[in-house]
Amino acid sequence: MSPKEVIEFAKKNEASQFDLRFTDIPGLSQHISFPIQQLDESRFEEGFGIDGSSIRGWAVIHESDMLLIPDGTTAFMDPFSETPTLVMTCDVIDPITRQHYERDPRWIARKAEMYLKNSGLADEAFFGAEAEFFIFDNISFDQNQHSGYYYIDAEEGRWNSGRREDNLGYRPRYKEGYFPTPPTDHYQDLRADMVETMLRCGLNIECHHHEVATGGQCEIDQKFDTLLKSADNMMVYKYCVRNVAYQYGKTVTFMPKPIFGDNGSGMHCHQSLWKGGNPLFAGDCYAGLSQMALWYIGGLLKHARSLSAIIAPTTNSYKRLVPGYEAPVNLAYSRRNRSAAVRIPMYSASPKSKRVEFRPPDPSANPYLSFAALLMAGLDGILNKVDPGEPLDKDIYDLSPEEMKDVPAMPGSLDEALTCLEDDHSFLLKGDVFTDELIETYVSYKRRAEVDAVRLRPHPYEFALYYDI
């Protein structure tokens, strides 16, 4: 919608306030609200001032003034606010230079799209991300100088099968939660409500279902869209999922691995390039791919270890990315084989459906940074004609040690992933999409606020291992 159309849309829906949203470096949505009387067409250029000094990974105190410029194409009515509220996603602008703020993740995603067009290789990159999540009934956690714990409960959790009262059974077994019907699937109606809410917010939803893990693991799939739009949509998706669950008295987490001994939550990223309305990844090479698509895969695999710091960006991510378990840590590609880091879906022979699926990402990732980084890795593969090697159509987990020795793997920790990013990020700097300063800020923040914070604290299981040593 144009600014004029946004204002007409607000009047039609009797909006009395509007909410401006943006995203910090770790990927958490932020917002500020105003009375609707403050919105006129001029504000779509002039913007709205905010203090950015307390935003994670953003400005230092002496450069904290920022402007939010609303993007009218993102407008929707908030389905959760009691006060009729118009919502818009914003770009962040420096009020002095009137330039985009280099640490705004949405700007990085925009620059990635511009770099793609300027490269001449393609004019559109489409992303379809499958973000999984858990629905719990109760969560408690704390960490201080003398104690540390977490406690999860979910009515659907298999661990509640032995409960003596108020127990009707019907719970997914560990690692057997894929596609059961109700009543074993406790959340059909809740997910359906989430989907209906997303549709009202303008998202295009393909399907929803229970996922593999017990304890309420679910997935709702969105239809693919352009890189920036898909990232915007992921933020709305998370907002809807969390708030619908909250209305039901439930809590949702996008943590990659909240439950020990069961599957974690991934965010498989489907990607394809188009030019002039034509798909570029369809061809007569392996699995119906084009040579361009194979080079794109080569770029993803070449840079996967450094990408991991962005697409699997938490210490908890590496509880999921463990060799021999459910996550694809081995850097290979294959058609259909879900144990490979890159999979080529074979559901349809249509050239328009030909795409590559990168499976290591998880939903704790910032979608703007993740999608931009994945595109830059793939384009680097195309520009440098990176050979992805031979496909691996066997189940990787059944390979012998001799067969496995030449298959590279994802990092085993966030600290290792950040080191990989420090050593290999020149591909991200092309076209000034990412900057050295942003990479340094990101690595420094992650090491200080997450890696070191976890490393310094005793783990509860260490008491079971070592208390009587």
Residues serving a catalytic function are: 51, 130, 132, 211, 219, 268, 338, 357, 359
Residue 356 sits at φ, ψ, to 5 deg, of: -115, 145
Side-chain-side CA neighbours of residue 178 (13 Å): 7
Residues, the chain, total?
469
- CA distances in angstroms from 2 to 10, 73, 162, listed in the order given: 12, 7, 57
Q: Residue 218, exposed/middle/buried by CB under 10 A (0-12, 13-18, 19+)?
A: buried
User: Are 309 and 417 in contact, with CB atoms under 8 Å apart?
Assistant: yes
Per DSSP, the three-state class of 211 is coil
What is the Cα–Cα distance from 321 to 329, expressed in whole angstroms?
6
User: Are 327 and 266 in contact, with CB atoms under 8 Å apart?
Assistant: yes
What is the Cα–Cα distance from 82 to 353, expressed in whole angstroms?
41
What is the Cα–Cα distance from 446 to 216, expressed in whole angstroms?
29
User: Are 173 and 214 in contact, with CB atoms under 8 Å apart?
Assistant: yes
Residue type, 362: D
DSSP state of 215: T
What is the Cα–Cα distance from 56 to 24, expressed in whole angstroms?
6
Please list, in sequence order, all residues whose beta carbon lies within 8 angstroms of the beta carbon of residue 453, skipping any fewer than 6 positions away: none
Please list, in sequence order, all residues whose beta carbon lies within 8 angstroms of the beta carbon of residue 50, skipping any fewer than 6 positions away: 32, 65, 66, 67, 68
- CA 334 to chain CA centroid, Å, is 23
